Structure 1
């Protein structure tokens, strides 16, 4: 974006060491191994190599540089600093060097910078990779250091960058260490958008290469372990894909991998995603039957699952049973099953949970010991109370936790934050601030989440100045630096008070602090400009979002851009955006069409409404037929807002045939058309439409078909018309339809 937009300039130049390098990495020759970290050196296997396999330690690198005694001496000094773990001094020596250090120094420096797990360390490591990429010297880095860099990027939240590293290694024919690639799979599985799908693709890409080796010992460092499988299974659970989950679960024995407690915790998540609450108890029973050590995390996952289903009664029973030191928890949960057990339940879950077959024949197993609820379990139940608006129960639970003898049950910062959130939800900001003060008094430090919840509360109550004061208190007094969520909340708060300049100021402040914007940041700022009638500025924000490889512009961002132009009736600009959206592989959704319909109404261009309705009608037909008629057309389920707007336009423009099609579509989709509104429009605009006695005969003849459509529409409205007391059909005369396109 141009710097002339605002002062300070909106756009900031991304450093060469940005954590979001958009370019894929490529190696021109095999890297070699150098051990520098807790990750064991990878056996760097070139996929397809057979009898001519060479030990990695024997690999030699050819470079265009020539031996120089001065350079060798500097490299030895740099290597000595690295061996002494003087990473900061080594970095300074690297930056002051006039030549490119040897591969050993570069790989070890990248490894140690990555292993620091700090923002500066990651940025420095990435700057080395960026330099080598520009100089076509990436072959100087070994796989071990690149694996560490990928792990560090994942920990810092730079999932796309980490993914690009692992994918590039695979494209070059090398297998990264399992700790590196499984960390990337885990990060993708937990990310939004298409992250889980990408996680499964990456998992498949690695395992496909592993299976090409008959001697699995050669690729032992890259073979998937339980952690890797759990990451992939978590992606399946997040997608709600039980078939893929079962497929991966059955692959585990092929690699000598056994499921653990986390595997079954993820299975509980799958049950939640697929709306199978009655299977949760059988997951617990399966853990006990297999002798897998039970942990509090599993019990917490179960409480959280019942809370997620809104079944607080069962969650309370479970917590009370733990308080009563009962070991027959499975029996209690079975008694709470309200659904009728489906004897023909999907074979997928019967294979995942063999104990699901004829469960009545088996006595529910007992816990190996009693487990008392801890603060995490109590807090989860508190969140359930908060979710349904039981604020008093939330506060009472906090008081009860304070009186517990077991310190493990005492409220922690999450418990207090839950109470703060419950109070903020009801608008009790003063009481919420009192809880924050109490946390400080008793030595339970509030965290960033606590402050972000309070910030959101003030913004919702349009108290932006108090939010600013809290932001300053958060940084100066509590020593907690705001994050991107903090600023996203403030930007959204400015929208609520119609302050686009304030939203931009917060965005610039966030960038000045070195906080990378997220997709939400961009779309929220776009929303500020769109709602304030500045679509060109929204477009500039969108362009910068497209150029930021850390984020991916989704349908929400495109729709916000369309909305900005449509709010001013700039239909042609909006249509160009929609065409670009389609070129980028995104189909317009109901929100896209809704914005365009509103823009058409504002611009008073009813002919465009007919074009839009034809497209919507075709996609609705595909939706109705289940996509079988024409798989190339994306299905669409319309909503009331879109159809009502199109119907309104057609009635006002006297396109009665199209209006009847639209109201028929509304009724098919269970939407009640607003007959009162349409009657009022018709009476005000068209009641004398065909009563002129001065029109020529030719003109009256041309109006016959439109008059027939008008009479049919009046019949639907219940107004006096020529169809009462007779059968009628709406058919064109001689194939002519005056209001079709």
Structure 2
């Protein structure tokens, strides 16, 4: 889209038609949506060089171009966080030095004021989004305060608050994040799922289990605020709240079980319309905290089913195969318990095997089928032994 926008600008000039400010604004927006913030700023500088008047719409388009690029970078990193260690190897260019887009956004805000253009709520929100995406919490907070002191046209909106919460969260400033979250509600703005998830991530970074559990309950409609379809939990919510709770304590184990049952009920994981069954469940793609909670759910569900008369069977957990395994000749490993990473074992598979040994009493030992390296199996004999122990307790 951005290429087409720039091409149309060139065609207009070649035809003797001088692009208007509105045309430039549209082209800058197209560049921003395509992650081409440099080209967007070049167009802005072209306007300045031509002596054209640059209004708030054009400035907002340029700041939004910076914010969109910054958010796309963050979105990529969030996806990696959710699937962290699920694949044993992945390519990444995170080490590449990235331009600090938040600085450009703040510079544009200052330039607006110098030009006599009054920034509006959109101007500030876009700048805060750029700061938030790059973890500049102090700058984001400062912009929020400026907005709060401003008039009706520049009052903070939901986007601004959420971006500032994200900035605080990435820097471990959970108290500031919570304060912003509460300010947003005081201003009559109902937090949405993105706002909640931004706050939960800040609580995860700060290891604030009690607060995270309260926010989860609020999102599920158990707190003071009513349930709303735009603020209900999703897989990101589940990952961060479970990642905050230490499963070693008895209180948190109960919380983890409650949270995961609610997630299943809501169709976030182990959906009823999937191919999962009582004794075979697909865990591939789950983050470690979610997979750990899933194991507790699966085995406790099996225990309850047996108590109700169901026959014990092998439990098969599908973890998927790693990148190196898929690329190996024939796509199959050695197919025994001695497989290691070099033969294609996934980090998730080995993590699951460890969890079943360490978190369960007696330990549940699993095998890896010869021609299904992406699965682990607890035999019905092992299951029966574990179930018998639970019945004794």
Q: What TM-score bracket applies, with the shorter chain setting the length?
A: 0.5 to 0.7
- Identify if the C-alpha distance between structure 1 residues 722 and 527 changes in structure 2 by more than 3 Å, giving closer, same or farther: farther
The Cα offsets for residues 516-552 of structure 1, whole Å up to 9 and x where unpaired, read as: 1121111111122223322111111001111111223
**In 2, Cα distance between equivalents of 1:461 and 1:560:** 20
Whether the 8 Å CA contact 1:587–1:634 is kept in 2: the answer is no
Residue 416 of structure 1 aligns with which residue? none
1:43 aligned residue: none
Using the TM superposition, give the Cα deviation of residue 460 of structure 1 relative to its aligned residue in structure 2, in angstroms: 4.5
- The alpha-carbon distance between structure 1 residues 718 and 559, as it changes in their structure 2 partners (threshold 3 A), is farther
Aligned residues: 268
Match of 1:435 in 2: 11
Aligned twin of 2:237: 642
- In the superposition, the TM-score normalised over structure 1's length comes to 0.32
CA RMSD of aligned residues (A): 3.6
Q: Aligned residue for 2:108?
A: 506
2:160 is the counterpart of 1:490: no
Equivalence for 2:84: none
Judge conservation of contact 1:652–1:685 (CA < 8 Å) in 2. no
Q: Give distance in 1, aligned partners of 2:186 and 2:66.
A: 33
Specify the alignment match of 2:143 in structure 1: 541
| Superposition map of 1:15-164 within 5 A | none
Indicate how the Cα distance of structure 1 residues 684 and 611 shifts in structure 2: closer, same or farther if over 3 A, else same: farther
User: How far off its partner does 1:504 sit?
Assistant: 0.9
Cα 1:568/1:475, change in 2 over 3 Å: closer
Provide the C-alpha distance between the structure 1 equivalents of 2:40 and 2:186, rounded to a whole number of angstroms.
Answer: 41
Cα shift at 1:648: 3.8
3-state DSSP class of the match of 1:588? Answer: coil
User: For residues 403-418 of structure 1, what are the structure 2 equivalents within 5 Å?
Assistant: none
Higher relative contact order (CA closer than 8 Å, sequence separation 6+): 2
- Residue 212 of structure 2 is matched in structure 1 by 609
CA 1:469–1:578 in 2, change beyond 3 Å: closer, same or farther? closer
Shift of 1:499: 2.1
Question: Counterpart of 1:523?
Answer: 125
Q: How does 1:141-540 map to 2 (within 5 A)?
A: 423-424=1-2, 427-428=3-4, 431-439=7-15, 441=16, 443=17, 445-460=18-33, 462-477=35-50, 480-495=52-67, 496=69, 497-540=99-142
Structure 1 residue 724 displacement after superposition: 7.7
Structure 1 residue runs of 5 or longer lacking an equivalent are 1-422, 623-631, 694-716, 734-741
Q: Where does the alignment leave 5 or more consecutive residues of structure 2 unmatched?
A: 70-98, 271-281, 293-347, 364-375
User: In structure 1, what is the Cα distance between the partners aligned to 2:356 and 2:386?
Assistant: 19
Assess, with a 3 A threshold, how the Cα gap between structure 1 residues 571 and 473 changes in structure 2: closer, same or farther. Answer: closer
2:193 alignment counterpart: 590
Q: Distance in 2 between matches of 1:600 and 1:686?
A: 28
The reply to whether residue 567 of structure 1 matches residue 143 of structure 2 is no
2:225 aligned residue: 633
**What is the CA–CA distance in structure 1 between the aligned matches of 2:185 and 2:36, rounded to whole Å?**
40
Deviation, 1:692, is 9.8
Q: Which residue of 2 aligns with 1:688?
A: 358
Distance of 1:647 and 1:588 partners within structure 2: 21
Are the aligned partners of 2:9 and 2:19 in contact in 1 as well (CA < 8 Å)?
Answer: no
CA distance in 1, matches of 2:53, 2:149: 27
> Helix, strand or coil: the match of 1:642?
helix
- After superposition, what is the alpha-carbon deviation per residue over 1:185-239, rounded to whole angstroms, capped at 9, x for unaligned? xxxxxxxxxxxxxxxxxxxxxxxxxxxxxxxxxxxxxxxxxxxxxxxxxxxxxxx
Question: Matches of 2:5 and 2:47 in 1, distance apart?
Answer: 16
Q: Deviations over 1:146-191 (max 9, x none)?
A: xxxxxxxxxxxxxxxxxxxxxxxxxxxxxxxxxxxxxxxxxxxxxx
Q: Is the partner of 1:687 in helix, strand or coil?
A: helix
The match for 2:256 is: 659
Q: Alpha-carbon deviations, 1:351-390, whole Å to 9, x = none?
A: xxxxxxxxxxxxxxxxxxxxxxxxxxxxxxxxxxxxxxxx
Kept in 1: contact 2:361–2:386 (CA 8 A): no
**Structure 2: distance between partners of 1:592 and 1:464:** 25
Deviation readout 1:16-48 (Å, 9 max, x if unpaired): xxxxxxxxxxxxxxxxxxxxxxxxxxxxxxxxx
Contact preservation (8 Å) 1:464, 1:494: yes
Higher Cα Rg, which structure = 1
Task: Give the superposition deviation at 1:585.
Answer: 3.3
Shift of 1:508: 0.6
Structure 1's 464 and 641: CA in aligned 2 closer, same or farther, altered over 3 A? closer
> Matched residues in 2 for 1:434 and 1:570: separation?
47
Q: Whole-Å Cα distance in 2 between the matches of residues 524 and 593 of structure 1? A: 19
With over 3 angstroms needed to count, the CA separation of the structure-2 counterparts of 1:633 and 1:503, relative to structure 1, is closer
| Offset of residue 566 of structure 1 | 0.9
How far apart are the structure 2 equivalents of 1:450 and 1:590? 35
Q: 1:579 maps to what in 2?
A: 182
Q: In 2 relative to 1, CA 724–692 (structure 1 residues): closer, same or farther, beyond 3 Å?
A: closer
3-state SS in 2 of match to 1:501: helix
In structure 2, relative to structure 1, the CA distance for the partners of 1:432 and 1:513 (3 Å cut) is same
Structure 2 CA distance for aligned equivalents of residues 567 and 458 of structure 1: 27
Which residue matches 1:675? Answer: 283
**Distance in structure 2 (CA, Å) of the matches to 1:534 and 1:605:** 21
Deviation per CA, 1:624-647, whole angstroms, max 9, x where unpaired?
xxxxxxxx6332322332123223
| Deviation (angstroms), 1:688 | 1.9
Give the deviation of 1:602 after TM superposition.
1.9
**When the two structures are superposed, what TM-score results if normalisation uses the length of structure 2?**
0.58
Paired residue secondary structure (2:358): coil
Deviation at 1:494, TM superposition (A): 3.3
